[in-house]
């Protein structure tokens, strides 16, 4: 830059007389740059400059300070010069953050490696956005925790003051049921379900169809389902079938449950559901099924595929049922709900809540309250449904007389 600067200075001085209205201006460096930049756009912007001469604005001063003040910072950075692609990626992320992109502030070595090895720019950005959101959630949670801790401290102080006032013993009929007691009670119920409960199978044969993210979602949905089942009045006896001990499912489940895994009141087995139960009793639940479930049967074994399908590969679970020649059913969502948007595939915890509710009450309205509200606009009245059915029948009967009416029909079309 310096070189070209000195070279051009005499040139600029020579040209000055041509631009008369800038005569007053001193010949400091900005003049040159102003002149160079206005040379190209002279045609379009010359009139504007006459109206508002920006002399006193010193538009280019910031550049000088940027150049001079930046030197120190740059030297500090460039001292750690190494051609490590990992470091380069880290710097790229840092620059993206400066640009206001959705990237995390701190990134661990493993995540950095995942980012670096992502094949495309979009997959990099996607993973970084995921980390960014995760980071935001984490900091928000931490903030909340701190606020809570402070509030707790204060109430403790207040309580201390109150406790000193009233110290006399009180009469209670019951001991307070602590969480531990609740857990024991649920354990008893679970044990009972293991002996006499209706089986409900989660089919774990889908590990090959899922990516790590989907697998994670599946396992967290399984955890939630098990939780809902445990709290129910009359729990199912849950089976995890086709669960390979060296598979992804097993690893993730053990990781999430920790020590609790071996104390769960459910049956985890490598065997398939067709080996455990008679085939006639099995009903495979899948949204692709042509058969609609009408009632909940207490003597059947329902199977739910533990499969989160973000890739939209329809018919995977139906294919599995077809292969084993099992009966299939789907929930009567269209019959009872005015469906809006979204797929008819529900999450595993929604499924188990619907089934539990059906088991206890037998009413579809009650059970289908667990379908997310965003997916439908409300319940269909049964009378409305039957009305539609009657209308359909009517339509068909008029269509049957189609050949007689044909000439009229074509006439109409021609007019249009």
98: contact with other proteins by CB under 8 A: yes
Q: Which stretch binds other proteins (CB under 8 A): 141-149, 159-167, 260-268, 391-399?
A: 391-399
Written as six digits, the tokens of 391 are 């209308």
**Of the two residues 69 and 383, which places its CB atom closer to other proteins in the complex?**
69
Residue 202 dihedral angles phi and psi, to the nearest 5°: -100, 120
416: contact with other proteins by CB under 8 A: no
Min dist CB 109 to other proteins, Å, is 16
Please, how many CA atoms are within 13 Å of residue 194, restricted to the half-sphere of its CB?
A: 12
Tell how far CA 260 is from the center of its chain. Answer: 27
Written as six digits, the tokens of 326 are 């099992």
Written as six digits, the tokens of 149 are 């801790």
Min dist CB 50 to other proteins, Å, is 11
| Binding mask of the shown chain, residues 112 to 141, with x at each position contacting other proteins by CB under 8 A | ----x---xx--x-----------------
Indicate the SS3 state at residue 377. strand
Q: Are the CB atoms for 32 and 10 separated by under 8 Å?
A: no
341: contact with other proteins by CB under 8 A: no
**Of the two residues 15 and 191, which places its CB atom closer to other proteins in the complex?**
15
3-state secondary structure 282-329: EEEECCCCCCECCCCCCCCEEEEECCCCCCCCCCHHHHHHHHCCCEEE
Q: How many helices (H) and strands (E) does the chain have?
A: 17, 8
Residues 17-76 within binding reach of other proteins (CB under 8 A): 33, 36-37, 40-41, 44-45, 47-48, 51-52, 54, 56-63, 65-67, 69-71, 73-74
Residues 152-191 within binding reach of other proteins (CB under 8 A): none
Q: Which of 309, 280, 313 is nearest to 297 (CA)?
A: 280
378: contact with other proteins by CB under 8 A: no
219: contact with other proteins by CB under 8 A: no
**Of the two residues 88 and 151, which places its CB atom closer to other proteins in the complex?**
88
Distance separating alpha carbons of residues 10 and 222, to the nearest angstrom: 78
Distance separating alpha carbons of residues 302 and 286, to the nearest angstrom: 10
Out of 9, 19, 22, 96, point to the residue binding other proteins (CB under 8 A): 96
> First vs last Cα of the chain: how many Å apart?
74
- Alpha-carbon distances, residue 143 vs 104, 137, 146, 148, 389 (angstroms): 17, 10, 5, 9, 56
| Binding mask of the shown chain, residues 271 to 310, with x at each position contacting other proteins by CB under 8 A | -------------------x--------------------
409: contact with other proteins by CB under 8 A: yes
78: contact with other proteins by CB under 8 A: yes
Binding site for other proteins (CB under 8 A): 1, 33, 36-37, 40-41, 44-45, 47-48, 51-52, 54, 56-63, 65-67, 69-71, 73-74, 77-78, 81, 83, 85, 88-89, 91-92, 95-96, 98-100, 116, 120-121, 124, 290, 315-316, 318-320, 322-323, 396-397, 399-400, 402-403, 406, 409-410, 413
């Amino acid at each position: 830059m310096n070189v070209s600067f000195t070279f051009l200075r005499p040139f600029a001085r020579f040209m000055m007389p041509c631009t008369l209205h800038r005569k007053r201006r001193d010949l400091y460096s900005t003049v040159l740059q102003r002149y160079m930049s206005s040379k190209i756009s002279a045609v379009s912007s010359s009139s504007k400059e006459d109206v508002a001469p920006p002399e006193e604005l010193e538009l280019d001063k910031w550049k000088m300070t940027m150049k001079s003040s930046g030197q120190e910072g740059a030297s500090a950075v460039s001292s750690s010069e190494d051609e490590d692609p990992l470091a380069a990626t880290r710097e790229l992320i840092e620059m993206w953050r400066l640009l206001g992109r959705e990237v995390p502030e701190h990134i661990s070595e493993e995540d950095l490696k995942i980012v670096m090895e992502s094949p495309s720019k979009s997959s990099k950005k996607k993973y970084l956005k995921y980390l960014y959101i995760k980071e935001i959630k984490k900091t928000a949670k931490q903030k909340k925790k701190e606020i809570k801790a402070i509030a707790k401290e204060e109430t403790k102080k207040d309580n201390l003051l109150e406790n000193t006032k009233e110290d006399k013993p009180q009469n209670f009929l019951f001991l307070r049921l602590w969480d531990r007691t609740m857990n024991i009670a649920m354990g008893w119920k679970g044990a009972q379900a293991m002996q006499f409960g209706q089986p409900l199978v989660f089919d774990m044969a889908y590990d090959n169809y899922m990516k790590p993210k989907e697998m994670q979602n599946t396992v967290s949905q399984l955890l939630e389902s098990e939780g809902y089942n445990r709290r129910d009045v009359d729990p199912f006896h849950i089976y995890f079938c086709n669960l390979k001990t060296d598979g992804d499912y097993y690893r993730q489940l053990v990781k999430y449950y920790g020590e609790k895994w071996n104390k769960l009141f459910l049956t985890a087995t490598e065997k398939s559901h067709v080996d455990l139960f008679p085939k006639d009793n099995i009903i495979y639940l899948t949204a692709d099924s042509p058969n609609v479930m009408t009632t909940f049967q207490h003597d059947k074994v329902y199977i739910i595929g533990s499969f989160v399908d973000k890739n939209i590969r329809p018919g995977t679970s139906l294919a599995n049922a077809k292969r084993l020649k099992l009966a299939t059913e789907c929930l009567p969502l269209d019959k009872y709900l005015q469906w809006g948007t979204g797929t008819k595939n529900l999450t595993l915890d929604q499924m188990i809540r619907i089934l539990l509710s059906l088991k206890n009450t037998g009413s579809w309205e009650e059970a289908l309250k667990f379908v997310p509200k965003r997916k439908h606009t409300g319940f269909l009245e049964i009378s409305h449904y039957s009305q539609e059915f009657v209308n359909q029948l009517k339509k068909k009967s008029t269509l049957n007389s189609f050949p007689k009416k044909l000439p009229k029909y074509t006439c109409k079309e021609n007019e249009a």
